[in-house]
Every structure is written in structure tokens, then in C-alpha cells.
Amino acid sequence: MVGVETTKSKELIFEDYPMIRALYGERGAHFKILEDAFKVKLILRGNHVVISGEPEDLELTERALEELYGLLKSGYNLYPTDVEYASRVLLENPRANLKDIFLDTILITSGRKTIAPKGITQKKYVEAIRKSEIVFGIGPAGTGKTYLAVAMAVSFLMRGEVNRIILVRPAVEAGEKLGFLPGDLVEKVNPYLRPLYDALYDMLSFDRVVKLFQKGIIEVAPLAFMRGRTLNESFIILDEAQNTTTEQMKMFLTRIGQGSRAVITGDITQIDLPDPKKSGLIEAMEILEGIEGITFVYFTKKDVVRHPIVQKIIDAYEKKEKKKEVKNEG
């Protein structure tokens, strides 16, 4: 690739024309995302790309195009969401290496979909799970905390590093109690565990998931069912941990046996306990930080990887909370 620069424009010349068309995206979708992200104008002329904008924006856009082009040359299938995530990564850290992040394959699903980190924090999270016995993933909805944890669990199981996967959730959400729900115990707790089933079905075929459940290799259970057990050679995920009490969190963490690792996920802004101050996750954040073998990874709204509107929704609710706090203080 060759660059020709003027005061407020730069022309890049790419060698591989089909590859630059993939970088351009269908009807220029990828270029439109880059233009919005970096406040520039992009024009494609054959295998030439002209970037127009402020000097600092030109430099960052060139970096983005080089990195994305490198991903394509490595065989990566680029989608608009990837371009959006990549733009966020480079805006946060212009020196970030997209190959290190996007090509860090965790799992290839039954549908041949590749699961890999989509940002700097997700990359830190995945690396922490590989290295630490216990990892806390804390942050807002839509940041991939649970999905990546399940993907890592399946990956560990497939490689024979653990013998089973245990997915756990506290059965307390949105102010509801099990006693008020219809049906037997299984029917009562299933709605709370559905997000974990959904993640599994997205990664493995339905038949394979069913067989793994039948053999007891994958187990999904409410947190209350963990009392009195010792879990060896297992990958254990505690989801929605903000809704655990102090006693439940301590009970869960002391279930972890030899050869096991645990990932605890939660969002401390979404606590459904009667007294949010008594959340076991909040206490764990205070007393376990700094212990060797335990890693905390904190996600923010910038790490949201769902539909872009989710980030806007989070922003709107945060603004409302801030107004409420100011009003209360006044």
C-alpha cells in the first residue's frame, strides 16, 4: 500500500483490488461506518482510496484501513459490525493491533461461526479466563460477559481441560420470587436460566447440547442447588451475580474444587435484591481485589457489542439516574 498526502487529504493505493472491494463493503457500508467514526470523507477509485479530513483524522483513518485490510488478507470475513467494533477499538487505542483481537479465535460453532473478542476489554477478559482460576466480569448488559464466558467454557471442555460445565444463576430477578411463579421447581427456574441455554444452542448443535445434558457433562442450575457440593475439574459460570447475597457469594466461591475455574458475571447497576447494598458481588469487589489467582475485568458502555441502539439506551438511563441524584442532593 502506498500513500500520497496533501494538507487535508491522503490517497492510499492498495495492491489487491478484490480485497479493497471487500474493505469497501456492500454499497460502501464499511466506508460509511468509518466516515462516521473518524469524521472523514472516503472515496474509492479502483484500488485507490482518497481520505479527506483533518490531519489527525486522516492518520487514524489510514491506520484503520491498514488494520482492516490486514484482517482481510489474513482470511477474516469482514462484516459491518466488525468495522464498527474496530473503529471503537482504534478510537480508544490508536496503536491497537486488530489481528491480536479479532483473530484470537475462542471457538468455531456448529454453524461455522467464529467466536472471538470484539474489543480491547473483551480481549483482556478472554486472556484473564485463560490465566486465572477465578475471573469477575463486571459491567452493563450487551458487553458479551456471559456469552464469552460460555464460549470459553465450551472451548475448555472440547480441549479436555475440564470434564464438565456448570452454569449457575441466582433465581432472583426483577423483584419476582419463585413462590409466585406457576409450575413445579424446574418450570419455575427455567426462565431464569434461559439466557445460558440460548448461548449454548448458539455454539453447539441442539442434539449435541441435549446429549451433553443427558450425560451430566453440562449442568444448568439455580445457585441454591450448589450448597454442599465440591466441584472438581469443572468450568463454572455464575451469571447475574449482582443478585447474590453475601452468604450466597461466599458459598459459591467455596464450592470450587481441584482443576476447576470459575467466571462470575454481573452488572451492579441492575441489582434486584431488596437491599442492593447487600449484594454479594459488590462485597466481593471490595474484599477479593488483589488476591493472586483472582482477576477483575470491568466493562463499560463503550464495550457494548449488541445493536448500536443498546449503547444509546444505556446512555439515556444513565442521564436519568444522574438527574435523579442531583435532584436528591438538592
Q: Is the predicted pLDDT of residue 182 greater than 70, yes or no?
A: no
Across the range 95-111, mean pLDDT stands at: 88
Across the range 299-320, mean pLDDT stands at: 77
**Which three cell numbers, joined as nine digits, stand for 195?**
439466557
Determine what percent of the chain is predicted with pLDDT higher than 90: 51
Q: Is the predicted pLDDT of residue 135 greater than 90, yes or no?
A: yes
The two beta strands, 134-138 and 261-266, are parallel
pLDDT (tens digit per residue) in 227-254: 888 889 999 999 999 999 999 999 999 9
Across the range 15-28, mean pLDDT stands at: 89
Q: Can you give the pLDDT at residue 1?
A: 54
| 3-class secondary structure, 168 | strand
Q: Is the predicted pLDDT of residue 174 greater than 60, yes or no?
A: no
Burial letters 259-295, b for 16+ CB under 10 A, else e: ebbbbbbbbeeebebeeeeebbbbbbbeeeeeeeebb
Residues 161 and 233: their CA atoms lie apart, in Å, by: 8
Residues 261 and 233: their CA atoms lie apart, in Å, by: 8
| 3-class secondary structure, 107 | strand
Residues 6+ apart with CB under 8 A from 86: 64, 67, 68, 71, 98, 102
Q: How confident is the model at residue 223 (pLDDT cuts 50, 70, 90)?
A: confident
In the chain, the amino acid numbered 252 is F
Across the range 181-203, mean pLDDT stands at: 68
Q: Can you give the pLDDT at residue 184?
A: 46
Determine what percent of the chain is predicted with pLDDT higher than 70: 88
pLDDT (tens digit per residue) in 35-56: 999 999 999 988 889 999 988 8
Residues 310 and 138: their CA atoms lie apart, in Å, by: 17
Least confident of 134-138, 185-189, 227-231: 185-189
The two beta strands, 48-52 and 114-115, are unpaired
Q: Is the predicted pLDDT of residue 162 greater than 50, yes or no?
A: yes
**Which three cell numbers, joined as nine digits, stand for 36?**
462516521
Across the range 124-141, mean pLDDT stands at: 95
**Which three cell numbers, joined as nine digits, stand for 209?**
447440547
Cα-Cα-Cα-Cα dihedral of 19, 20, 26, 30, to 10°?
Answer: 120
- Where in the chain does DSSP place strands (E)? 2-5, 9-13, 41-45, 48-52, 107-108, 114-115, 134-138, 164-169, 218-222, 234-238, 261-266, 294-298
Across the range 268-273, mean pLDDT stands at: 86
Dihedral sign for Cα atoms in the order 25, 27, 31, 37: negative
Q: Is the predicted pLDDT of residue 282 greater than 90, yes or no?
A: yes
Q: Can you give the pLDDT at residue 320?
A: 82
